[in-house]
A and B are shown apart, each in its own frame.
Chain A
């Protein structure tokens, strides 16, 4: 499959911004991405927009220009940005367009997400009885994983502490105050074994990416980054998934495993080739599990890898170099494009205080969320 080039990335900081709408943040992120590419909005031939809270992300045209371009809105849970990116890349591969954008934006209320379970294909009683909650699913998934593979609470605290440390080095991050492992372990228990500071928060922000045909990328930048794979997968029967009150005895791999394998195959690369990694850390346990689900270690090896600092910026397997979801929070529509923004900066050698040493050339990003949807992207220099 033909590669697609990323020639511009832009971000509106993640956090809380009273008085600023998601659409306005999306427009600001888009302008930043266009400036990065040296292009104007009128040069953009099509766009995909992703959001959870906003029905029509395409309304960014009110602030960018009513050029009449085809603009398609997508929503796919926490993998929304992966869907926007995949659709944008495939639109260029189809041959009808040269330059397009993927734009993500959101503005969530504080606190855990609340929704109508019926809209997720589960009965109303599931919500009425207090079971329709994502944090307790992640808690039960890591509880079982810790039991099966010998992961300790200290390792969960190490993951969160690393992500807050990385967030301190990221001026666009929501949470920039480092926290010790002890403070994380001693913060209030939310869903055993996960404490308050092991979770990310729904927040606000936007991110945007400009893509073009590989053969014209050098017109716009001396340092294009190539999108070698972008894949979305949903759960198969037997996968242990959020918002499902039933799990068959015969287990299947998580959708992340399926998306990861497909992405490696599409890119012609393996986990051993990857230099910098962004994983869905909805909570510290999710980052631990996703390290294995994406092929970066075997189940249980995370305990030693975290103790040795392997996933630090200076380590052998840097994970969530911009602080991940734990430090940035999760504006759903934008979250995956924030990952791409960070990988592009890292591959350009432009990540400043948090630059991974040794000129990284292969970046990897993964999203996972309700009701069992995963996205994986692989980028290279």
Chain B
């Protein structure tokens, strides 16, 4: 079996049947922010509580990343000819709008307002073959 790791500790719940992204909620003003941080960007208070974001929302805007990002900071090391373009979007959740890679074929139909749900996908492999996982959104009803 292929070994896997998440791209960053604590970024999202894993392993999980229904993964959720971690965020923080301000104890003073209740503002929710992502990624989780120890101070509130709204009121400046420095006491926050961990929270998790909703798994479903709607596509607020999107694009397709058609050129290979520079490494570093991108982890992908594939030769230029083997780069697989990917979708990127902001998904509007009840707590706010979350940026994410979009799972599925880069040329899949995308439109603002379409229902999306959270998933976890491998996006590259380490030199030892370990798959690196990140959170992503996919159109609801698509695997």
Contacts and interface: CB of A to CB of B under 8 A. Distances in A.
A129 B61 contact: no
B111 to A, nearest CB: 9
Contact of A123 (B35, B62, B89): B35
Given A112-B67, A190-B67, A246-B33, A143 B41 contact: no
Given A123-B35, A237-B42, A247-B90, A129 B63 contact: no
Contacts of A131: 88, 99, 101
Nearest to A250: B96
A116 interface: yes
Contacts of B66: 188-192
Contacts, number: 117
Contact of B73 (A124, A140, A246, A249): A124
Contact of A127 (B74, B90, B92): B74
B63 A143 contact: yes
Given A127-B74, A130-B69, A246 B99 contact: yes
A192 B63 contact: yes
Q: Which of A129, A130, A136, A247 has the most CB of B within 10 A?
A: A129
A264 interface: no
B72 A136 contact: no
Contacts of A140: 61-63, 88-90
B62 A246 contact: no
A130 B86 contact: yes
Contacts of B95: 249
Contacts of A193: 63
Contacts of A128: 7-8, 73-75, 132
A212 to B, nearest CB: 41
Interface in B46-70: 60-67, 69-70
A189 B64 contact: yes
A139 B99 CA distance: 13
Contacts of A222: none
Contacts of B67: 112, 190
A153 to B, nearest CB: 13
B101 to A, nearest CB: 6
Given A128-B74, A189-B66, A245 B99 contact: yes
A133 B8 contact: no
B69 A114 contact: yes
A114 B33 contact: no
A147 B112 contact: yes
Contacts of A247: 60, 90, 96-97, 99
Contacts of A144: 60-61, 112
B59 to A, nearest CB: 10
Given A245-B99, A246-B96, A114 B123 contact: no
A321 B31 CA distance: 44
Interface string B92-117: 10011111110000000000100000
B73 A117 contact: yes
A191 B65 contact: yes
A219 B96 CA distance: 58
Interface string A241-274: 0001111110000000000000000000000000
A130 B101 contact: yes
Contacts of B73: 114-117, 124, 126-128, 132
Contacts of B76: 130
Interface string A92-131: 0000000000000000000110111100001111111111
B119 interface: no
A321 B95 CA distance: 43
Contacts of B92: 249
A35 B97 CA distance: 52
A16 interface: no
Contacts of A122: 35
Instruction: List the 6 closest A-B pairs by CB distance, nearest first.
Output: A127-B73, A114-B70, A139-B63, A144-B61, A125-B8, A247-B97
Interface of A: 111-112, 114-117, 122-133, 136, 139-141, 143-144, 147, 188-194, 237, 244-249
Given A139-B63, A245-B34, 11 more contacts: A123-B11, A125-B7, A130-B123, A132-B73, A140-B88, A141-B61, A144-B60, A237-B41, A245-B35, A245-B99, A245-B100
